[in-house]
A and B are shown apart, each in its own frame.
Chain A
Amino acid sequence: MAFGGYPPPHHILADLGLDAEVDSDTSARVRTRVTPFVTGADGGVRAGVLATLVDVVGGAVGVRALRPDWMATADLTIQVVRPARGPFVEARGRVLRRGRTTLVIEAGVFEVDGDGSDVTCGAAVPAPAAWATMTFAILSGGRPTRTSGAAAELADRWSFTGAGLDAPVVDVLGISVTDAGNGVVSLPVREYLFNSIGAVQGGVMALLGEVAGEVALGAVDGSDDAVVVTDLQVAYLSLGRVGPIVSRTKVLGSGAGPGAVRRGTRRSAVVELLDDGADGRLTTVVNVVGTTVAAVPPDAVPAGSAS
C-alpha cells in the first residue's frame, strides 16, 4: 500500500518492507524484518535503519494526531540499548505532547517474532532494544504533498512492500566513503530515497550521519576492531534536494590517539551534512556515539533473519 503514490515501488522504505498498525489516534507500531543487509558489525540493526523505522512510526502517529495539519521532522534521537537482532524489530510510538507548533513523540524499539509477539528471552516484560524521541514541526493548514490527499482517510494497517534489499543498505543507498580519516562520505540524491516532499528522507540522513561517524571513529581508533554506532542525535535544519549530500566530521575527546583505545571504548563525533549542489547548504547536524566491538561474521546472524 502507498499513500497518494508514496512511496513508489522502487524506494528504500518499500525495500525495507515495513508493516504498520495504528493502535489509536496517538499511538502506532511499525515493523521490519532483520536481514544481514541492515545490520552492523555487532549483528544488530544499524542505528540509522532504526532511525528510519522510528521516523516512519512517528509519521504514522503524527499524521493522525495532527490532521488536517501536516508536519516535518525537526529532530530525532535514537539510543541503542543492546544489539537488535530480530527476527523482526518493531518501533512503538506514542504522542508525548501536542503543542501549537510542535508535536513530540517517543518510541521504543523491540525485537519481535513474525507474528508480532515479543522476544523476551525469558524476561517477565519485554526489554527495549533501543529508545527514540522525535519532534515534528506542525505545518498549519497542511502542505501540498503527494500524501496530503490521503490524510483524510487513513488506514489502520498498511504495508510498504518492494523487491527487498539485495545488498547492504549502505551500498543500496549509494553511500561512498571519500576520506575515512576525516569522516567524509557522500550520498547521491535520487527519487529512491525521497520523502513525501521530494527531499532526502530523514532516516536516510540519519544513516548517512551514522556512516560518516562510524568511519571517522574507526580511523581514530586505528585498531582492527569495528565501530558500532549506539546513539544518533539528528537535527534537521533544511531539506536536502540537489545533492550530492556530503559530510564533514569532528571527533570529540580524541586526545588518546591511535593505539590507546581498548575494546568497548566509547567515542563521540559531530557530523554536518551539506547539500553540495545547493551551495553547500547545511542541511542536518548529527551527533554520533560509537563503541568499538569485535566484529560479528555475517554468517553469525540468526538464520531466521536471512531474507
Chain B
Amino acid sequence: MSARDPGDRAPAAPTGPGPSDPIDPRHHVSEYFRLQRWEIPPADGAERMSEFGGRTPVEDHQCGAGGGLLTGGLLTSVDSLGGMAAGLAVLPRWIVTTSMMATIGRVSHQGPLRLHGRVLRRGRNSVVVGLDVVDEGDHDVPVAAVTMTCAVLDPVGMDLHFDRPLVVDMPPPSPNARTPEEFFCIEPGGGPVTRLRLDDHLRNPWGILHGGAVAVLADVAARRAVVAHRSAGGGDRPAADPARLAAADTILHYLRPVKVGPVEARCDVLGGGPTRTLVRVAIHDVGADDRLVELAMVAVLAV
C-alpha cells in the first residue's frame, strides 16, 4: 500500500481566515469546499511523478445525514486534486475526468479531511489516479478511496503556467454559508428527477460543467429518488426519512461534456436492503438535445 505520510510534508491547516485574494474564476467549485492543495515532488529527484496532498474542512452547512462531508462534496475535492495530479503529469497537454470509482468507508467525519493522490498509470490517451482520504480529526482513520481516470487532451487556448511545486492555500471561509444545493444551483423539490441550472461559476477551465457539480447532483438526486420511491411504497419498506439518508459508494462516468444546460438527473431505484439502496442516475443536458451526458451509480445508506 502506498505510503501516506501524515503531516511530515503536509502544510498545517490554517487556524483562521486565509488570504483575501479574489477568487480565481477557474477554481470556484474547489474554493466552495475550501480545498487546500500541495504538490509533493519525488523525494530523490528521480523522474517519478509528483504526488499531491490536499485538505478540506468539514463544515456544518456542507454535511450530509451521517454527520460528515456530503459524499458529492468529498468527490468534488477528489476530482480537483486528482485532476491536478493527472494534468501536471501530462504537461503540456491537459486532462478531463472521464470516470470516478469511489468507495466510502465512513459518512461521519470529525474533519478536516486530508487527501492524497498519486498517478497509478500514465498512458498516451489516459491517466489513472488513485486517491485516499483520511479523517485528520479522528486519528487519520481512512474514510474513502477513489480511482479516477482522465482523458488526455490538447489544451487549446488554456493558460497552463504553474509555479512548481504547486501550492494552493486553503481559501477563507465564506461569509455566506450556502448549502451545496444552493451553491450548485440545484432546484428544490423531490421525486425521481432533479434539475441543476448551469451557471457560469459551475464551469471548469474547459468551460463545461465541473465534474464535482455532477457528483453533488448525483448525490442529491439519488437521495431524493429513494425518498420518493419509499413514499410510493417501493421496496416494501417504510417511508425513508430524508434526514437519515446519505450517499456513499459512487460510480461516475463522464460520457460527454455538459455545455448548455439545464441539466436533469433522472433516477431509477434498482433495489436493495433495509440499509442500502442502489440508484442509477442518468444525467441529461436538456439544452443540448437532451443528450445523455453522465451516468452515475449511487449507493444510498440509511444512517
Instruction: Give bound CA distance, A82 to B103, whole Å.
Output: 19
Could you tell me how many residues of chain B have their Cβ less than 8 Å away from some Cβ of chain A?
46
Q: Say if the beta carbon of B271 comes within 8 Å of chain A.
A: yes
Instruction: Give bound CA distance, A150 to B288, whole Å.
Output: 39
Q: Does the CB pair B101–A235 fall under 8 Å?
A: yes
Minimum CB–CB distance from A123 to chain B (whole Å) comes to 10
Q: Does the CB pair A268–B105 fall under 8 Å?
A: yes
Q: Does the CB pair A287–B141 fall under 8 Å?
A: no
Instruction: Give bound CA distance, A291 to B43, whole Å.
Output: 40
Instruction: Give bound CA distance, A230 to B143, whole Å.
Output: 18
Give the residues in chain B near A255, CB-CB below 8 Å.
Answer: 138-139, 141
Given contacts A96-B292, A102-B98, contact A287 B271 (CB under 8 A): no
Give the residues in chain B near A249, CB-CB below 8 Å.
Answer: 1
Which among B132, B253, B271, B272 is the interface contact of A96 at CB below 8 angstroms? B253
Q: Say if the beta carbon of B29 comes within 8 Å of chain A.
A: no
Q: Does the CB pair A81–B272 fall under 8 Å?
A: yes
Q: Does the CB pair A248–B128 fall under 8 Å?
A: no
Minimum CB–CB distance from B256 to chain A (whole Å) comes to 7
Given contacts A81-B272, A82-B271, contact A233 B103 (CB under 8 A): yes
Minimum CB–CB distance from A148 to chain B (whole Å) comes to 20
Instruction: Give bound CA distance, A251 to B132, whole Å.
Output: 12
Minimum CB–CB distance from B123 to chain A (whole Å) comes to 8
Binary contact track B277-303/A, C-beta < 8 Å → 1, others 0: 010100000000000100101010100
Q: Say if the beta carbon of A214 comes within 8 Å of chain B.
A: no
Instruction: Give bound CA distance, A41 to B120, whole Å.
Output: 33
Instruction: Give bound CA distance, A272 to B261, whole Å.
Output: 39
Given contacts A96-B255, A96-B295, contact A285 B147 (CB under 8 A): yes
Q: Does the CB pair B105–A79 fall under 8 Å?
A: no
Instruction: Give bound CA distance, A233 to B147, whole Å.
Output: 8
Which among A106, A238, A289 is the interface contact of B249 at CB below 8 angstroms? A289
Q: Say if the beta carbon of B259 comes within 8 Å of chain A.
A: no
Among the stretches A26-34, A58-66, A130-138, A172-180, the one at the interface with B is A130-138
Q: Does the CB pair B145–A287 fall under 8 Å?
A: yes
Which among B99, B142, B292 is the interface contact of A252 at CB below 8 angstroms? B142
Q: Does the CB pair B255–A77 fall under 8 Å?
A: no
Q: Does the CB pair B147–A287 fall under 8 Å?
A: yes
Give the residues in chain B near A230, CB-CB below 8 Å.
Answer: 276
Q: Say if the beta carbon of A90 comes within 8 Å of chain B.
A: no
Instruction: Give bound CA distance, A101 to B126, whole Å.
Output: 9
Which among A75, A102, A237, A291 is the interface contact of B151 at CB below 8 angstroms? A102
Q: Say if the beta carbon of A104 comes within 8 Å of chain B.
A: yes
Q: Say if the beta carbon of A146 comes within 8 Å of chain B.
A: no
Minimum CB–CB distance from A56 to chain B (whole Å) comes to 20
Given contacts A252-B105, A287-B103, contact A75 B147 (CB under 8 A): yes
Q: Does the CB pair B256–A97 fall under 8 Å?
A: yes
Q: Does the CB pair B280–A131 fall under 8 Å?
A: yes
Q: Say if the beta carbon of B270 comes within 8 Å of chain A.
A: yes
Given contacts A74-B149, A289-B103, contact A82 B120 (CB under 8 A): no
Q: Does the CB pair B278–A81 fall under 8 Å?
A: yes
Instruction: Give bound CA distance, A249 to B142, whole Å.
Output: 13
Give the residues in chain A near B271, CB-CB below 8 Å.
Answer: 81-82, 127-128
Q: Say if the beta carbon of B87 comes within 8 Å of chain A.
A: no
Q: Does the CB pair A288–B103 fall under 8 Å?
A: yes
Instruction: Give bound CA distance, A104 to B1, whole Å.
Output: 29
Give the residues in chain B near A77, CB-CB below 8 Å.
Answer: 101, 251, 297
Q: Say if the beta carbon of B242 comes within 8 Å of chain A.
A: no
Q: Does the CB pair A285–B139 fall under 8 Å?
A: no
Given contacts A104-B255, A128-B270, A254-B141, contact A248 B1 (CB under 8 A): yes
Give the residues in chain B near A102, CB-CB below 8 Å.
Answer: 98, 126, 151
Q: Does the CB pair B145–A231 fall under 8 Å?
A: no
Q: Say if the beta carbon of A297 comes within 8 Å of chain B.
A: no
Give the residues in chain A near B248, CB-CB below 8 Å.
Answer: 266
Instruction: Give bound CA distance, A128 to B121, whole Å.
Output: 33
* Shortest Cβ distance from B277 into A: residue: A81
Q: Say if the beta carbon of A267 comes within 8 Å of chain B.
A: yes
Q: Does the CB pair B272–A285 fall under 8 Å?
A: no
Q: Does the CB pair A235–B147 fall under 8 Å?
A: yes
Which among A81, A97, A231, A287 is the interface contact of B270 at CB below 8 angstroms? A81
Q: Say if the beta carbon of A264 comes within 8 Å of chain B.
A: yes
22 contacts across the A-B interface (CB closer than 8 A): A77-B297, A79-B249, A79-B251, A82-B272, A96-B255, A96-B292, A101-B151, A127-B270, A131-B278, A135-B99, A135-B253, A250-B1, A250-B142, A252-B105, A253-B141, A255-B138, A255-B141, A266-B248, A270-B103, A270-B132, A272-B1, A287-B103
Report, nearest first, the 8 A-B pairs whose CB atoms are least far apart: A252-B105, A253-B105, A233-B101, A253-B106, A287-B103, A268-B103, A81-B271, A252-B142
Where the two chains meet, the residues of B that have a C-beta atom closer than 8 Å to any C-beta of A are 1, 98-99, 101-106, 120-121, 125-126, 128, 130, 132, 138-139, 141-145, 147, 149, 151, 248-249, 251, 253, 255-256, 270-276, 278, 280, 292, 295, 297, 299, 301
Apart from A253-B106, A253-B141, A254-B142: 7 A-B pairs, beta carbons within 8 A: A75-B147, A77-B251, A79-B297, A233-B147, A237-B128, A266-B301, A289-B299
